Chain A
């Protein structure tokens, strides 16, 4: 049986990771979490993420550097990435599929997630 691919939530603020994981699971999406860019790449290496919600400002490895690595790796290049930020991004920064300005509400998040990762597995239409 195929394992449902998860949404990887990457943020250094535990309360944000916790809140995002909670609402996404509530919606029916499997969720993985990481506290910085380096941990996020480790999770991606396990091959279970179908979408990355990536905070910009984080210790160890920030979101933009992690995004650069994702885009540089042929195995990950096609995984959609949403960058979340409360700050202005540096001029010339690019590579994300969507930008989510903090603070945001759950409806804006769900809309993006649905458009980039499809409906949650439990609610996916039956192919038959």
Chain B
């Protein structure tokens, strides 16, 4: 009997688009046909060019065929400004061709011949077909169009060429039966959606034959490097992993509060510091950072309001030597605008900093920066995943959140569903007693620790927070805070729908 031959195991074609290969669990399949669907302006051409130039850098050859899309000059002007663009590759390993004339005169069979010619003459291993909506319009019938896709699919499978089809076909009732969608190996959608008054970009993989992928929507940004996709954080980060052995408890930098917490914060835990504006949350966070950074635990301040210089000066004023710690690389101060943020972008930046510097202490000031960057419904799942990820990295985290009332002892976690995610909750309050305002501090929750349940007074002095003794009647706020302690201990996040 003669020889037996066949195709070797299917291989992946990496897109090279940061985050996208992660969403695709490794990339596209070589010799497959993929459709990228999106309205004008969503970045389809940039995405395809980015993939093409990455493919060429990896040794492949690409043919970029346009139908009734923008002119090549305009296209090159647009992508020429992006960092992935290599002018030296244009005309050699990346070739731009227009195939409108063949399709206009000879229909889809002439287009198929033109595409085959483009791949063959150029020895292309990646073919981009831009403006496919035109082919759909010029097709005599749906069957005709289906036949075209089928023939193209068989042919590229044989010659080992991967095809990316860009189309702006609007999503409609008939979308599901569209040959582009039913017959191809993968379907990616790019869209711009409204988030309150903002517009954000999202990518969704609707289909990927022969591979798992991270389902649902993922934010993406278009910048000087092209597209960057941010896989939806909680979809991946929540997966089980082993947690490092926790070293001894981490001091918060306030000795009396450490005792109230039952010895400090468990390493790898996440603590919520609740309090009104001006109650001392940031000061407590700075002391927490300094208590770790001074003896050598890399620390990160991740803030949304005060700029790094302000934070550094504030730390110095409390005698915490922030300038010295920053200079020695023990402390990093970062700032993010609380406006126009995107939750997954923040998470990616936070974890990148944590991993890069081996951060062990993290102070997030405050939760509102994340709240403003997403839908509230996402936050419980997001913070559960973030907490898990940080714990796995051995990071002890303190997060602040502002309560609604400037004065008083009413305790309420303003972000619904997140309190159960925090292992510890510390409340900083301010109460009017006669002509004075008294600051008070209480540990509402300290998971797995015998904590002090008393309500104590505290002051902010030139060396930071000093906690005094327990308050006594009539200014005793315990009666009002104690139920809050119970609530905080009981509260569980709402189920995600």
Contacts and interface: CB of A to CB of B under 8 A. Distances in A.
A20 interface: yes
Contacts of B2: 82, 96-99
Contact of A100 (B1, B6, B154): B6
Contact of A98 (B3, B120, B151): B3
18 contacts: A13-B154, A14-B151, A15-B155, A16-B154, A19-B151, A19-B155, A19-B157, A19-B158, A23-B155, A99-B1, A99-B4, A100-B5, A100-B6, A103-B158, A105-B159, A106-B159, A108-B5, A112-B5
Interface of A: 13-16, 18-20, 22-23, 26, 82, 94, 96-109, 111-112
A109 B159 CA distance: 10
A94 B1 contact: yes
A91 B2 CA distance: 16
B151 A18 contact: yes
Interface in B189-239: none
Interface residues of B, number: 20
A15 B146 CA distance: 11
A99 B155 contact: no
B7 interface: yes
B85 to A, nearest CB: 30
A19 B156 CA distance: 9
Given A15-B150, A105-B160, A111 B5 contact: yes
B116 interface: yes
Given A23-B155, A105-B31, 18 more contacts: A15-B147, A15-B154, A15-B155, A16-B154, A18-B155, A20-B158, A26-B120, A96-B1, A98-B5, A101-B5, A102-B6, A103-B158, A104-B7, A105-B7, A105-B158, A107-B160, A111-B5, A112-B3
Contacts of B158: 19-20, 23, 103-106, 109
B336 to A, nearest CB: 49
A104 B8 CA distance: 8
Nearest to A93: B1
B7 A18 contact: no
Contacts of B159: 23, 105-106
Contacts of A112: 3, 5
Sorted nearest first, the 5 A-B pairs with minimum C-beta distance are A101-B6, A98-B2, A15-B154, A19-B155, A97-B2
Contacts of B400: none
Contact of B6 (A14, A26, A106, A108): A108
Nearest to A111: B5
B478 interface: no
Contacts of B3: 98-99, 112
A22 B115 CA distance: 12
A24 to B, nearest CB: 10
Contacts of B7: 101, 103-105, 108
B167 interface: no
Nearest to A15: B154
Contacts of B116: 22
Contacts of A20: 158
Interface string B417-457: 00000000000000000000000000000000000000000
A117 B160 CA distance: 23
Contacts of A14: 151
Contacts of B157: 19, 103, 105
B10 to A, nearest CB: 9
Interface string B1-35: 11111110000000000000000000000010000
A96 B1 CA distance: 7
Given A26-B120, A105-B31, A106-B160, A19 B5 contact: no
B153 interface: yes
A108 B160 CA distance: 11
Contacts of B153: 15
Interface in B136-155: 147, 150-151, 153-155
Given A105-B31, A105-B160, A18 B154 contact: yes
Interface in B119-142: 120
Contacts of A102: 6
Nearest to A13: B154
Contacts of B160: 105-107
Nearest to A80: B2
Nearest to A109: B158
Contact of A22 (B1, B4, B150, B155): B155
Contacts of A105: 7, 31, 157-160
A20 B1 CA distance: 24
A22 B1 CA distance: 28
A23 B5 CA distance: 18
Contacts of A100: 4-6
Greatest chain A CB density within 10 A among B3, B157, B159 is at B3
A109 B155 CA distance: 13
B151 to A, nearest CB: 5
Most buried by A among B2, B4, B116, B159: B2
A101 B4 CA distance: 7
